[in-house]
Amino acid sequence: MTETFLIVGGDAAGMSAASKAKRDDPDREVVVLERGEWVSYGACGLPYYVKGEIDDLEDLVAIPAERFQEERDIDLRTGHEAAAIDPEDQTVTVETDERTYTQSYDELLVATGARAIAPPIDGLDRDGVFTLQTMEAGRELKEYVDAQAGDTVGIIGGGYIGIELAEAFRGQNLDVELFEMRSHVLEPFGSEVAKTVESELRDNDVAVHTDTRVDRVAGDDRVRTVITPDGKFPVDAVLVAAGVQPRVELAESAGIDVGPTGALATDQYGRTNVESVYAAGDCAEIIHAVTGDPAHVPLALTANRAGRAVGATVAGEPTPVGEIAGTAVLKAFDLEVARTGLLEDERLREAGFDPVSVSITAASRAHYYPGGSEVEITLVGDADSGAVLGASMVGKEGVAKRIDTVAAAIQGDMSVTDLAYLDLSYAPPFGPTWDPVLTAAKVLGGKLS
C-alpha cells in the first residue's frame, strides 16, 4: 500500500521536503496543504518589490504551483488550511471555502512558518498599518506606495525588515520616521556596526529614533500619528517590523512540544516528540553551532536545508537537518551589513564562554587600486578555547561574502589562529594582501595569546 507523506505549509521547508521525498521515493504519495494561494516564494525579495526594483510579484515565486503538480507529481492543494492534527489516528482536519474533510498520513511535516509580531501598541488595527510577512501583504503595501506621493511612513522596528523598507520607501520618495525601542538598530549586529548603519540611514534622510518606545498610533478613519514619550509624529502609514514569531498553535494543540525558544522542539532529524511527526522551517528550533543549544533563527537557507533533510529521511535515508550559525546579510542603502555566530557578551557568558572581541577597520581593496572603501569588522573569540564565536561586518563592498569565511570557521570548529592562517584569495581589485578577515583574526589572536 502506498504511504502518504503529508506536509502542512507550502513555502521553503514544506516544498523542499515535498520535492526531495518525491524525488527519492517516486512511489510515495506526497500531499501539501497550503492555506494561501502562493507557494515556494522568496519573501526576502518583498522589500525590493516594494521599492520597485522587482517589477512583478510573480517574479518572487521560485517554482509555480502547477509545476509541482504536473512535473513533480506532488499533490499540492492551495486554499486548504490544516485545522487540527490527530496524532493517534494519524489524520489532519482540513478546511477549504467549500468543505471540511479529513486527510490521513503516515508521516507528517509541520512547516507552518512564522507570523509578524504585533507588539502591544494601541491602534495597530487601523487602516494604513502594514506588516510585510506574506506575498499578499507585499502586494497591499506596494499598492499603497504606488498611490502616494511625498507622504510619510512610520516604521516600528529597526531590524532587517525595518532597515530594508526604510530604503524602499526612500526610493519611492516617501519620508521615513523609524522608531526603535532599543539603544541601536540591528542590535544583534553589535553597537559598532549599528552606529555606522544609523549614520547611513540619516545620510539618506531617514529620521532615526532609538531608545524610543511607541505607545500608540492614532487617527480617525486611518492612522495619522505615531505617539511616543518624546512626542507625536504625523504619518500617513505605519509599517510594523517588530520581528516574527513561530506559528506553533496547530502543532501544540496536538501535543507536540514547544522548546525553550517558543518554536517547535525537534531532534537532529527534525523529528518532534510525537511519532511520525516532523517540524522544519520558521516554526521549528534548530541547534546553534556556537552554543550547541536549540535556537530559533528564521532564515531562508535554514528552512530550505531542514525541509530537504526531512524529505530525505522520510524517503528512507536518515539525514540530519544540520546546525546553523545564524549567518545573515542585508543591504542598507550603500552599505552591506552582515553577521554570523554570536556577538552578545552576556549571552556568550551564559553559554559558558569567556568572550574577547576586537574591532578593526581595513581596506576593501589594495590601497593603490581605485574604488576601494573601508570595511569594519568586529570579531569575537573564546579566551579559554581560542574558538571563533562570531563576527559582524559593515562596508560598501566585499562584506556579503567575507562573512561566509567566518561562518565556515565557526561551523568547522576552527580556532582564531586557524582562521588567521586561512589561504584566502588575493588580487588588488578584490582585496589587500592581508584580507580584512585575516587581519581581524591576527589582532584577536594577539589578545587571546
Q: Which residues are catalytic?
A: 44
Give rounded-to-5 percent helix, strand, coil for the chain. Answer: 30, 30, 40
CA distance 16 to 30: 12
Residue with cell 557578551: 345
Question: What secondary structure does DSSP assign to 315-345, as a single string?
Answer: TT-------B---EEEEETTEEEEEEE---H
Query: Regarding beta strands 29-34 and 75-78, do their DSSP bridges make them parallel or antiparallel, or are they unpaired?
Result: parallel
The C-alpha angle with vertex 223 and arms to 217 and 227, in degrees rounded to 5, equals 25
CA distance 180 to 241: 10
Number of residues assigned to the chain: 449
Query: H or E stretch including 360?
Result: strand 355-363
Strand-pairing partners, residue 441, are none
Rounded to the nearest angstrom, the gap between the alpha carbon of residue 326 and the centroid of all alpha carbons in its chain is: 9
27 in Cβ contact with 4 (< 8 Å): no
Q: Which residues contact 13 (CB under 8 A, 6 or more apart)?
A: 109, 111, 113, 280, 281, 282, 284, 303, 304, 306, 307, 310
265 in Cβ contact with 257 (< 8 Å): yes
Q: What one-character DSSP code corresponds to residue 212?
A: -
CA distance 107 to 277: 6
Query: Regarding beta strands 223-228 and 231-234, do their DSSP bridges make them parallel or antiparallel, or are they unpaired?
Result: antiparallel
Helix ranges (H only) for 64-134 are 65-70
Q: Which three cell numbers stand for residue 434?
A: 592581508
